[in-house]
Amino acid sequence: MARESYDSSYFEENYYSLRNDDLWSDVTPISQDDGLHPIAKIQYTDEFIEVYDYMRAVFQSEETSMRAFSLTEKAARLNPANYTVWFYRRKLIRELKCDLDEELRFLDEMIEMNPKNYQVWFHRQKIIEMLDSGSESSDKTRKKELKFVQSMLDEDAKNYHAWQYRQWLLKTYSLWNKELDYVEKLLKEDIRNNSAWNQRFFVISHTSDYTDEIRLKEIMYTLVAIDVDIYNESAWNYLRGITQTLDSIANYSLPEPYCRTMLDHMRVLLKQTEDEGEEANGTSHSSKTKIHHAQYSPYLCMFAVSCFEEYLQQKVTQSDGCDKCKDIVEKELLPMLIKLQTEDDIVRKNYWKFVQLKLKHKYCNFE
């Protein structure tokens, strides 16, 4: 498990006063300037104050030495989010030609303690860039980096900074080979892992030209995931992202066992949730439809609205128009939009109300 950012035990065991060290006798510490009347002065520990007073002194004098380099480690441990400390440390690493592999080992520890700290991950990226020489050892280092990131994602599969760093590695060094397999492994473990769905879209977007074959494969993969969990918002968002590359969502042809078109499949799914709702409420199919909330997926509804809208738009642009447009809007679209406004997506009720009014004006001669 990741530890807290500030490791007090480290300083209790390893800290010694710089003021009493002959190595630092020639340096005059610079205190933090909080102004004459600070409103809310931070109560730093004595160790923190001393380390950063010396840190400001060596940074201001632009000192390049091993003692300054060691001081940046102390400062980084005390405050791993301090950008200036990491910037100065990188400058010293370059000029002193420090061991980069040793720096990665230090970063292993720092990231384990601070897995969601942007500055630590960014520093690691810069160290890998320094290591990059196009040699075989660099290639091994990159593969090790993927394994390291995977170990961090094993602890938290939705760590944004780890994913961002992994994407940088993949894109910069073209390490796409087994990434889709890794993503599928994560989705098997947790079908609702939004980060894994996002990573799948990232990989597909950078490794394919969205050919008909690729689109069909991704659409079928996502529909299967939706069959497993129709309430999975991540899968519905992924499906919407893939279908946005199509000329037509509504009329997109699906192979068996799915319906002929995407629109027809959405109708079937809506009918299934309607039937399940009737059974849950103990009503017959001849009675007035009432979709039970527990059996109803708002994400299905949202996606279906986009399919219906596109279908209607295509019909009105055809020379013969669409005689059934009004019926589709009144009988199929409006009930979904009302439910989104009143139950399923109240936060965006004004948006769904706008869509409702737009469709009424356009297809129902509503004034």
N-to-C CA span, the chain = 61
Tell me the whole-structure pTM to 2 decimals: 0.84
State the pLDDT confidence band at 315, using cuts at 50, 70 and 90.
confident
pLDDT at 221: 96
> Residue 77 is inside which H or E element, if any?
helix 66-78
Confidence of residue 138 (pLDDT cuts 50, 70, 90): confident
What backbone phi and psi angles, to 5 degrees, belong to 288?
Answer: -65, 135
Q: Residue ranges per domain, the chain?
A: 1-98, 247-367
Phi, psi of 253 (to 5 degrees): -80, 130
Is 1 a residue whose pLDDT tops 50?
Answer: no
Residue 291: pLDDT over 50 = no
Given a cut of 90, is residue 32 above it in pLDDT?
Answer: no
Query: Considering only CA atoms, which of 325, 295, 323, 294 is closest in space to residue 309?
Result: 325
**pLDDT of 277 over the 60 cut:** no
Question: Is pLDDT at 16 greater than 50 in this prediction?
Answer: yes
Q: For residue 40, what pLDDT band results from cuts at 50, 70 and 90?
A: confident
Q: Is the pLDDT score of 296 beyond 80?
A: no
Q: Could you tell me what percent of the chain has a pLDDT over 70?
A: 86
pLDDT at 284: 45
Among the residue ranges 37-41, 284-288, 351-355, the one predicted with the least confidence is 284-288
Instruction: Note whether 53 and 70 are within 8 A (CB).
Output: no
Contact 302, 345 (CB under 8 A): yes
pLDDT value of position 278: 54
- Site of tokens 């004595």: 46
Q: How confident is the model at residue 210 (pLDDT cuts 50, 70, 90)?
A: confident
Q: How far apart are CA 42 and CA 38, in angstroms?
A: 9
Summary mean pLDDT of the chain: 87
116 is catalytic: yes
Check pLDDT > 60 for residue 282: no
Q: What is the dihedral of CA 92, 98, 100, 105, to 10 degrees?
A: -90
pLDDT of residue 135: 58
CB 51 within 8 A of CB 28: no
Among 24-33, 40-49, 100-109, 252-261, name the most confident range.
Answer: 100-109
What letter represents residue 246's amino acid?
A: L
Does residue 292 carry a pLDDT above 90? Answer: no
Among 68, 56, 125, CA closest to 92: 68
- The whole-number pLDDT of residue 288 equals 37
Q: What is the pLDDT of residues 144-193, one digit of tens each?
A: 999 999 999 999 999 999 999 999 999 999 999 999 999 999 999 999 99
pLDDT at 294: 40
Q: Which of 41, 74, 97, 116 is catalytic?
A: 116
Q: What is the DSSP letter of 253?
A: B
| pLDDT score, position 36 | 80
The band of 354, judged by pLDDT with boundaries at 50, 70 and 90, is: very high
Give the pLDDT confidence score for residue 39 in this predicted structure: 84
